[in-house]
Structure formats: structure tokens, C-alpha cells
Amino acid sequence: EKGNFDHFMLKEIHEQPQTIRDSLRGRLLAEQGTITLSGLDKIENQLREANRIVIVACGTSWHAGLVGEYLIEELCRLNVEVEYASEYRYRNPIVSPKDVIIAISQSGETADTLVALENAKQQGATIFGIVNVVGSSIARISHAGAYTHAGPEIGVASTKAFTAQLAVLQLIALKLAEIRGTISRELFGVLLSELNEVPDKVQWILDNQVNHIQNIARQYKDARDFLYLGRGYNFPIALEGALKLKEISYIHAEGYPAAEMKHGPIALVDEMLPVVFVATKDAYHEKIVSNIQEIIARKGKVVAVVSEGDDTVTGLAETVMVVPRAHEIVAPLLAVIPLQLLAYYIGVERGLDVDKPRNLAKSVTVE
Ligand code: M6R
């Protein structure tokens, strides 16, 4: 039931402190400084010997996969490829028994993902499932896996399942880095406690930013197009923010790596175009600030997600949405929350059925 919330989507956005905690529970033991993932233990040998990891997914789950790629490559120094299941399924990909395939799916029933996995399994690859629905088809055909424990997601636009996928990917990347000996004890400890703090930080966003984001939604609800830009760990979050807006508000939105802007999309920028930057404090911050300046110079309207206490962007942007400071590796778990809220409130302002957007199904069981 929706309880006090107008829509399931809003309820599910607000559940995230709890659902992220549930994804971490019993797995991340911050005080002991350990991560336990029984699914990973089951395929530890394959992981030790893997040449690469291939992540296969669709839609929002594919965006989580992109974050996973950045995490695993950075922390585990292991080659990762992220594939759209529909493409991977049909293009006769090269699969070897040394490949570990990570499938990401909320429903566990997405047809393209399921068949892509069946094909790879036949060719001897090891399949690891990150799935929300217990006992679903993808969970059943996987050799091992880790459930996301987000609980039933009713809103067609995925929110809490996405952050649960990110939380599990963080655990996997950290555990794998430990197994492969590619992370120092010190960094491991720092990232464990950063991850452990995420649920409280998400709660802070929900407690402090909702009314403000509602106002931003009122201001921009009639825009015809939106651009979403981010770099590094926040690039997939720009893609996810754009997808949420499209699904819920039917406004055309595109996500790009911020630096790709000059290679085409900048031609779209004028005083009518809102550009949402994911500009939290990280290694790319200076570069993203100069991307923001480039947009402003062309009269684009900048809305930015920024870290608490960082004033660099506040003076430049039309408006900012604030998230608590965090290590850049866990930042996507925070940065996506304001973007979910923005999409939700724009959809509501436009009088749309945000829980059941037109033309979409909760699980896509046909190709
Ligand atoms: O159940 P899955 O995670 O496999 O679903 C994949 C996509 O269909 C899904 O993420 C879709 O993009 C959502 N509507 C996103 O909000």
C-alpha cells in the first residue's frame, strides 16, 4: 500500500534509506571491517581466474552496470564490459569459459537479459545474478548471485531497485578487490565506512531537499527538452536522470558524458534548455565546473547536483540540489536521489500517471 504517499514511486523513493540498509545488512560489517557475500564465495575460483567481467542488463539496470564497470575496473583492476542484453544476445559475441557474466535485473524476467544469459551459459561462462525478485527466472539460471533485497517495486520507473543494485555492486567491487589483492587495507576500511553511511545521507537528502526540488519542478515543468551531464562515476547517473525524466514526464531528455557536449549536443543549448549537471565534489570537479561555464556562456539554464558546502557551482547555476559530501565511489548512490525526485515532481506537475507511464511495462518479457 501507498501509506501516506500519493504514489508508489514517491513511497519507493522515500524507502531508499531502508532498502539500501537492507541490501547491506549482514554483508557489510563496518566495525569488523569485513564484507561477506556468500554468492561471490561460491564462484571465488572463477573470479580469481577471470580474464574479464561482462555485465549484461537493460534500461536502468544497464545504468547500474555502467557504475559497476567503473567501480570494478578502478578497485579490482579487472577488465569489464557492459552490454545491452538485446545487442549481446544477437550479435554472436565472443564468450569464453573464463568469462564471468554479471546479470543485473530488478524483475529477473527481462526476456533479452534471460536469453543473453542462456546463450553465454551454454558457451561455458559463469553467470552471477544481481536480481531483486527472489526465485525469478534470471535468479534460477544463475550459477550464483546476490539478491538486492529492495522489496517489491510497484512504480514502473525503477528507483529503489536501482540504488539497491548500486549498493550490491559496491559490495561486489570491494569484496573482489579484497580477493584479488588490489586494494589497500586502509582504502578498504575507508570505503566500507563510506558505504555504511550512505543510508543516513540519503535520508538527509529526503529530509532537506524535497520541497526545494518540488519548486524546481514547477519552474521547469514546461521545458521541451533537457540535457543531463556528468563525468566519471556520475556519468551513468546523468543517463539515469534523463531516463527517469523521459519515462515519467514525457519530456525529451538526453544524458551525456559532460565532455561529449562539445562534440554535438552543445548545438542544442539556448535560453530554453535546462541542463542538469551532476557536479558533486570529485576528481573531475574542476572539469565539470568549466563545462558548466560553457553552458552558461550559451545561455543554457543550469540546474546542478552539488556537494554540501561546495559553493563553486552555486554562484553559476540557476539553482542547485544539495547532497551530503561522500567519497566519489559512493557518490552515485546519493546523486541519483535528487534526479529521481525531480522527474517525479515534474511528472506530477504535468498531471501524469507517474506510477504507470504510458507505453511502459514493469517487466519486459517480450523482446
Ligand atoms: O527488470 P529489469 O531490471 O531487467 O528491467 C530492465 C528495464 O526494463 C528497466 O530498468 C526499465 O528501464 C525501467 N522502466 C526503468 O525505470
For 34-62, write each residue's pLDDT tens digit. Answer: 999 999 999 999 999 898 999 999 999 99
User: What is the atom index within ligand 1 of the atom nearest the CA of 363?
Assistant: 1
pLDDT tens digits, one per residue of 256-288: 999 999 999 899 999 999 999 999 999 999 999
CA of 336 to the centre of ligand 1 (A): 16
Mean pLDDT of 26-32: 93
Write down the pLDDT at residue 331: 97
pLDDT above 90 (res 333): yes
DSSP structure class, residue 209: S
What is the model's pLDDT at position 363? 82
148 Cβ inside 6 Å of ligand 1: no
Q: Tell me, what's the pLDDT at 86?
A: 94
pLDDT in tens, 82-103: 999 999 999 999 999 999 999 9
Question: Distance from CA of residue 75 to its chain's centroid?
Answer: 18
Does the pLDDT of residue 364 top 90, yes or no? Answer: no
Average pLDDT over residues 316-337: 97
Q: Is the shortest distance between the CB of 60 and ligand 1 below 6 Å?
A: yes
Work out the end-to-end distance of the chain between its first and last CA atoms, rounded to an integer number of angstroms. 31
Percent of the chain at pLDDT above 70? 100
Contacts of 335 (CB under 8 A, 6+ apart): 230, 234, 237, 278, 280, 305, 323
pLDDT of residue 255: 97
By most ligand atoms within 8 Å of CB, the mutation choice from 61, 109, 367 for ligand 1 is 61
Closest ligand 1 atom, residue 158 Cα? 16
pLDDT digits (tens, 9 = 90+) for 94-145: 999 999 999 999 999 999 999 999 999 999 999 999 999 999 999 999 999 9
Specify whether the CB–CB gap between 162 and 336 falls below 8 A: yes
Average pLDDT, rounded, for the chain? 96
Work out the average pLDDT over 203-226.
Answer: 98
193-228 burial, b for 16+ CB within 10 Å, e for fewer?
ebbbebbebbbbbbeebbeebbebbebbbebeebbb
Mean pLDDT of 242-265: 96
The distance of Cα 103 from the centroid of its chain, to the nearest Å, equals: 15
Q: Is the ipTM of this complex over 0.95?
A: yes
The pLDDT value recorded for residue 361 is: 85
Look up the pTM and report it.
0.97
Q: Which residue, judged by its Cα, is nearest atom 12 of ligand 1?
A: 59
In this prediction, residue 31 carries a pLDDT of 87
